[in-house]
Amino acid sequence: MMSLSTLNVRRRPSGSARREAGQILVMMGVAAIALIAILGLAIDIGRLYVAKAELSRAVDAAALAGVLELPDIYGAADQATAYLAENEPNADPEITPHPEDNSLTVNATKSIRLLFLPLVGIDSASVSAHAKAGFGVAYLDAALILDATGSMAGSPISNAKQAADQFKDTLLGQAPNGRTAVGVTPFRGCFRSAGQTQYAPKPLNYSNCVNHDSQFTPLTSNLSTLENGIQAIDAQGGSGTNVCGGLLAGLEILDGPGNHLDDVRPGETLRRYAILLSDGDNTYNNYSYQASPSSPHVKCLPDSSPWNSDGYLGTNCSSAYLREREIDRKTWQLAKEMEAQGIEIYVIGFGVCDHDASPVYTTAQCDSSIGNGDHDNTADERLLKCVASSKDGTNDHYFWAQSAGQLPEIFSRIANQIAHRLIE
């Protein structure tokens, strides 16, 4: 017989124990509901945060687009409205142009349907955004770098000079006193200063060289000085278009006399720009360079000295031959160095053969492709697109001019883009 001591006797829970278990289940249910509510609140708040950020970006873009139409207040309002409608079609905008100071304000609200807060009686919430765009108070230095080779003679250089005039008038005409400066330089196959002799008996005024002393205008806010510098530019030569040398001259302007590098106080900014116009294959000319370590532009000479063909894209595309690829690599490297110094580069490609607007090149693609393969007309446009400081996935700093008559409009667009910024 089994003893009582070996029996496993199960005892039924008492009434108080059952009540305690029930209370725990209730508390767990309440805690679960509270946790779900907190998670739901976090999700809805996150959605509101994302919606506000998206609305803010759309409002910023609308303000920057609209302000470019001033002093036409109706055109400015229509442009801002169109931009906002494209990016945030459900937003309720309030757009106010201010022609008295050439600025424009955009306010917008947007209702967001909530996912979890309706459980507590809150079905929707509104987000809002504000932006004001106008002529900024930041310091601004800009270098105009104009192709002045023989292929630019006639209407191309005439239109380029007109475009440069409009550019400096736009920047300096509305700029806060002393905060904006513009410089200008032409470029060809080389630069030469007074007293420099090279490859005798070629004279000092060898037409392929830009005379650094008479055709190089440092940064200035003086409209007359710039006007004289622009009008002194002429197109001649025809034996090389060294884009690298042009960029280097632009860098010399931005780092030279009249810059605002030492004027910026805490809380202020300096924006630096190089605007390059080129119609030519990136080449150099053996005769027109002093290939010695003392030459200021030796940085833009190929490491070797092979003869190469000269050519341009503006009028006779079929005459373009293979180019020295090293100069492409040096041009691309210099562009990266300038961007690392905070310089934004705008590029206008004029008369580019086989133009194709669609290709967009990443930095990695430019690194791997520049200087490789045949240096043909298409490769030249690739180089110009790579040199431009476009945002990823865009060509927003590269412009193509099919004809010389388009140059003033393009330069005006660039001037307005860099002159106006968000001020609130």
Query: Which DSSP string corresponds to 59-109?
Result: HHHHHHHHHTTTT-HHHHHHHHHHHHHHH-TT-EEEEEEETTTTEEEEEEE
364-369: average pLDDT: 86
Looking at this protein, which amino acid is placed at residue 86?
E
pLDDT at 334: 93
Q: At 93, phi and psi to the nearest 5? A: -95, 155
> Would you say residue 48 has pLDDT above 70?
yes
pLDDT at 318: 42
pLDDT band at 25 (very low <50, low <70, confident <90, very high): low
The distance between the two most distant Cα atoms of the chain, rounded to a whole number of Å, is 133
pLDDT in tens, 293-308: 455 556 776 665 444 4
**Token couple for 234:** 């002429």
pLDDT at 238: 61
Tell me which of 151 and 146 has the higher pLDDT.
146
**Token couple for 93:** 């905008």
Place of tokens 């001019």: 401
224-253: average pLDDT: 88
Using CA of residue 76, residue 84, residue 407, residue 272, what is the dihedral sign? positive
pLDDT at 28: 65
pLDDT at 409: 93
- Enumerate residues 6+ apart whose C-beta is below 8 A from 49: none
pLDDT at 113: 87
Q: How far apart are CA 41 and CA 37, in angstroms?
A: 6
pTM above 0.85, yes or no: no
Place of tokens 């030249």: 380
Domain ranges across the chain? 19-132, 139-422
pLDDT at 239: 59
Q: How far apart are CA 228 and CA 170, in angstroms?
A: 17
| Fold classification of 139-422 (topology level) | Rossmann fold (3.40.50)
Does residue 61 contact residue 87 with C-beta atoms inside 8 Å? yes
